[in-house]
Homo-oligomer: A and B are copies of this chain.
Amino acid sequence: MSLTFEGVLADRSTWRLDNCSIGKSMDVIGTRSSMLILREAFYGTTRFDDFARRTKMTDAIVAARLRELTGIGLFAKRAYQVPGRRSRYEYILTEKGRDLVPAVFALMQWGKKHLQGEDGGPLRLVERGTGEPVMIGPRTVSGRDLDLEDLAIVAHGDWAGPQSG
């Protein structure tokens, strides 16, 4: 019914997660506005006004989030200039930002299945070119899809005490 803890972790009463990666991630990007801005960035949006209009959020919060996410390193600012207009900045995803693709699309996959109507909403995520359906989930590097029961958590060899994970 759940995943497995191996080695020194097997007895869960002996350790505690003090600064787990999930909590840290949620502290950093755990807001609706951050997720929607990331969605837009994945969709190709780079400019302030487009973020605001497409997410239907106010200028204030878009500005605050872009500043925050840029500060964290999910976006890099890059100058651009439309001919006849003055120079502005656009927001380009860094690798750190792009690495959130699994998290954001996993949320989309879940919402599509469980929160939208019967058909899962009008949009589908597919492979470019082939149109093959795309799924997000855990798998081994050799390509096996895994369920929760197939997962295990192990400690690094030099683990010293209950800290993060």
Give A contacts to B, CB under 8 Å.
Answer: 1-6, 9, 12, 16-17, 20-28, 30-32, 35-36, 39, 41-44, 54, 56, 73, 92-93, 96, 98-116, 119, 121-144, 146-156, 159-160, 163-165
CB distance from A102 to the nearest CB of B (A): 4
- The chain B residue sitting closest to A130, CB to CB, is B140
Contact B133 A141 (CB under 8 A): yes
- The chain B residue sitting closest to A127, CB to CB, is B140
B residues in contact with A144, CB < 8 Å: 127
CA of A44 to CA of B154, assembled, Å: 15
Question: A123-B165, A141-B133 in contact; A107/B22 too (CB < 8 A)?
Answer: yes
CA of A160 to CA of B117, assembled, Å: 15
Q: Would you list 17 pairs from A and B whose C-beta atoms are within 8 A, ordered by A residue?
A: A1-B92, A3-B128, A9-B123, A21-B116, A21-B121, A22-B36, A30-B35, A99-B110, A102-B110, A102-B138, A105-B151, A123-B153, A124-B154, A131-B154, A133-B140, A134-B140, A136-B136
